[in-house]
Amino acid sequence: MNLEFDKKHIWHPYSSATNPAPVFAVDRAEGSSIYLEDGRVLIDGMSSWWCAIHGYNHPVLNQAIKDQTDKMAHMMFGGLTHEPAISLCEKLIKLTPEALQKVFLCDAGSVSVEVAIKMALQYWQAKGKSNKNRLLSLRRGYHGDTFAAMSVCDPDTGMHHIFNDVLMPNYFTEAPRCGFDEVWHDDYIHDFKQQITTHQAELAAVILEPIVQGAGGMRFYSPEFLKHVRALCNEHNVLLIVDEIATGFGRTGKLFGCNHANISPDIMCLGKSLTGGYMTLAATLCTEDIAETISNGEAGVFMHGPTFMGNPLACAVANASIDVLLNSTWQENTKRIETELRTGLAPARQLEQVHDVRTLGAIGVIELKQPVDIKVVQALFVEAGIWIRPFGKLVYTMPAFTISQAELQTLCNKIVSVVAKF
């Protein structure tokens, strides 16, 4: 494998083109194992940025791709439809909150957020309230790298502050202060209540990641916060968008993050593990009211249409992935993973450089007091035989639900041992 060509010509995510961090050449992957070209084998603690929930090279998902390839790999979705898309949308409507009855298929998580924001804006425009054209988002939130998505990410501590001057101006409220298992006090919702009350005339929607704020800090917050947000959105005539791209399909111990609070959003974004990590695909679901209002508005249609919308290969493997998940003991697996992560990462609490250790579902986080140098620590994890991709002050793991007990124990032990060297 020509790594010199890679270094000279290929620009990897969040990397410098002039001073790139080392990359490691992968030959193949199986289950929770990544086989490097040089012969080393790594236990994968990232499930490929949280999406390969069934592990790699899964026979059922492989077969779904092969079978669909023999029929058609792609077909435009404008004016045409096909069984994989219909079956997938039937599944999504059945699994998500009952009010969500319309599905818009799109390319990737960031695009699903773009679609959700456009839905909210076009909805209010169709109702003759075009002044409702701003969003309210949580600080420490992350919703993607495209422009509308960047505009609702944390404007100060997020990854996109250098674009603040050209992004759509939106409003922000403090990040939830009540931890997942902490006792709720009404003052935890005070700032949110103040913001939505003050700006209700301008707000098209509130957007948030339910229960887990992912790339903005891996923070877990109380379901009570979600319940209050839903009630306040209803009270002030503001739509609620939940970004379930990272939390969907079992990652938090519930099928969706919003299930922890038993709330129903107006719009839901799905992505990442939708296809089990095989193909890029996302979906934005909304209520009948939103769809009908947009369709009866000035444009008469929803103004979005990706070229690869409803790709048959992606829909076929998404159907297979959902079936594999629902036919498995995924709830037991996430509980097992949560228990092992809580036990296995606990020794890190004794390290001076560690600020906090927390777990929820199949998510384990070690928060450090100082940011890590990715160029240094990435190599340390590889040398230890595990694949972990830290960012900022966070060393975290979100493994496949199928990871074995032995692999998980080794993963935790190695994470703690490497963190001890920082």
What is the tens place of the pLDDT at every residue in 205-257?
Answer: 999 999 999 988 899 999 999 999 999 999 999 999 999 999 999 999 999 99
Percent of the chain residues topping a pLDDT of 90: 88
Give the 3-state secondary structure of 34-82: EEECCCCEEEECCHHHHCCCCCECCHHHHHHHHHHHHHCCCCCCCCCCC
Give tens-digit pLDDT for 256-290. Answer: 999 999 999 999 999 999 999 999 999 999 999 99
Confidence of residue 23 (pLDDT cuts 50, 70, 90): very high
Query: What residue ranges do the domains of the chain occupy?
Result: 3-57+329-419, 72-326
Of the CA atoms within 13 Å of residue 179, those in its CB half-sphere come to 7
Q: How far apart are CA 43 and CA 130, in angstroms?
A: 51
Question: What stretch of H or E contains 344?
Answer: helix 330-345
Give tens-digit pLDDT for 154-196. Answer: 888 777 788 888 888 999 999 999 999 999 999 999 999 999 9
32 burial (CB, 10 Å; 0-12 / 13-18 / 19+) is: buried
- Tokens found for residue 417: 């041992």
The CATH code of domain 3-57+329-419 reads 3.90.1150.10
In eight-state DSSP terms, residue 221 is B
Confidence of residue 377 (pLDDT cuts 50, 70, 90): very high
Single-letter code of the amino acid located at 250: G
- Tokens found for residue 248: 């969907």
The per-residue pLDDT for 159 is 72
- Tokens found for residue 418: 């490497």
pTM for the full model? 0.96
Q: How far apart are CA 91 and CA 173, in angstroms?
A: 34
Among all residues, which ones are annotated catalytic? 14, 142, 243, 272
The CATH code of domain 72-326 reads 3.40.640.10
The per-residue pLDDT for 160 is 76
Rounded mean pLDDT, 135-160: 89
Q: How far apart are CA 348 and CA 336, in angstroms?
A: 20
Single-letter code of the amino acid located at 141: G
User: What is the pairing mode between strands 282-287 and 100-106?
Assistant: antiparallel
User: What is the pairing mode between strands 363-368 and 394-397?
Assistant: antiparallel
Contact 283, 104 (CB under 8 A): yes
72-326 shares the fold of 3-57+329-419: no
Residue 408 scores a pLDDT above 90: yes
